[in-house]
Amino acid sequence: MGVRRVVVVLAVAVLAAAGLGACYPAPQTNVVVAIGDSLLLGAEQQGLAERLRDLGLSPEIDAEGGRPADRAVALVDAATRGRRTGVLYLGLGTNDGTDRASFRADIEAVMVAARGWPVVWSLVEWPKVLGLNDELRAARDRHANLALIDFTPEVTARPWYRATDGVHLVPAGYVARAAHIAAFCDRYRP
């Protein structure tokens, strides 16, 4: 090794030891990546990002009406690639039909793409697809980093939160859902 290379290596070592050699910011652990469907979109429109920021979390929200779980796998992969950790919130399942085997495969693909991040997944609330919750519960038993949250008790106690279509919420319901999501993401942050 040449003298010049030794000097450069020593300089980098000294700067690193002094804490001055960081070229990149420290990886964020307070990031919340939220990926979901129209139910997440409603919560986003009713202040979810602000609630997360109020808790010292840094939100990155990607909500799209009609999104099934299989279309979220690539988003999860892109969000977690190259990052140490954060919290991943998923609001998916309402648009996945009743094929439990397919949903199970989508859950597993998401969990692989999550790369060990804490995952907070909302249980499905729409009666036509409630069987998918059994797949989420079974996945929780397989994955220590998966936590499930259930907003159904909130809607059951306050039926006026539910819109007339039986799936979506009215603005007050989305405000409550945003608070619910933010609280759980804060609880499960690394």
Helix (H, G, I), strand (E, B) or coil at 82: coil
- pLDDT confidence of residue 172: 98
Q: Average of pLDDT values for 170-187?
A: 97
Q: Is the pLDDT of residue 5 over 60?
A: no
- pLDDT confidence of residue 28: 58
Q: Is the pLDDT of residue 71 over 50?
A: yes
Whose tokens are 């920021």? That residue is: 53
Helix (H, G, I), strand (E, B) or coil at 35: strand
Helix (H, G, I), strand (E, B) or coil at 177: helix
Q: Average of pLDDT values for 112-136?
A: 93
pLDDT in tens, 22-51: 333 444 579 999 999 999 999 999 999 999
Whose tokens are 């942050």? That residue is: 189
- Write down all domains in the chain, each with its CATH number in brackets: 26-187 (3.40.50.1110)
- Single pTM value for the model: 0.84
Looking at residue 159, what DSSP letter applies?
G
**Mean pLDDT of the residues in the chain:** 88
- pLDDT confidence of residue 190: 84
Nearest residue to 114 via CA among 79, 63, 64: 79
Q: Is the pLDDT of residue 130 over 50?
A: yes
Residues 6 or more apart whose Cβ sits within 8 Å of residue 38: 63, 64, 65, 66, 67, 94, 167, 168
Helix (H, G, I), strand (E, B) or coil at 49: helix
Are the C-beta atoms of residues 36 and 60 closer than 8 Å to each other? Answer: no
∠ CA 94-60-150, nearest 5°, is 35
